[in-house]
Homo-oligomer: A and B are copies of this chain.
Amino acid sequence: MPASRPPAAGASSDTGSGVPERPSRAVPAAHLRVQRVRPAYRQVADELRAQIVGGTLAAGERLPNEADLSRAFGVSRSTVREALRVLASQHLVETLRGVQGGSFVASPDPSQVVEDVGGALGVLVMTPQLRLHDLLEARLLLEPSAARLAAQRADAETVEAIQTAAGGRRDPRDPSGFVGHLDFHTTVLMATGNLMITMMGQPANDVLRTRLRRVGVEAEEWDRVDEWHRTIAGHIAAGEAEAAEEAMRDHLIALRPLYERDGLWTEDPLGR
Contacts and interface: CB of A to CB of B under 8 A. Distances in A.
Contacts of A45: 89
A234 interface: no
Contacts of A35: 96-97
B82 A200 contact: no
Q: Quick one: which of A48, A87, A113, A141 has the most chain B CB within 10 A?
A: A141
A30 interface: yes
Contact of A85 (B86, B123, B130, B270): B86
A12 interface: yes
A14 B141 CA distance: 40
Interface of A: 1, 5-6, 8-9, 12, 14-20, 22, 24-25, 27-28, 30-31, 33, 35, 41, 45, 47-48, 51-53, 55-57, 59-62, 64, 68, 71-74, 78, 81-82, 85-92, 94, 96-97, 100, 104, 106-108, 110, 112-113, 116-117, 119-124, 126-127, 129-131, 134-135, 137-138, 141-142, 145-146, 149, 152, 194-197, 200, 204, 270
Contacts of A194: 134, 137-138
Contacts of A82: 81-82, 85
A107 B31 contact: yes
B116 A120 contact: yes
A51 B104 contact: no
Given A24-B62, A100-B27, A130-B110, A18 B56 contact: yes
Stoichiometry, copies per complex: 2
Contacts of A92: 123
Given A89-B90, A107-B127, 8 more contacts: A12-B72, A25-B100, A27-B100, A30-B62, A78-B78, A113-B117, A116-B120, A129-B195
Contact of A200 (B51, B60, B145, B200): B200
Contacts of A88: 86
Nearest to A116: B116
B134 A195 contact: yes
A92 B19 CA distance: 16
B30 A104 contact: yes
Contact of A47 (B18, B41, B124, B135): B18
Given A89-B89, A134-B195, A14 B72 contact: yes
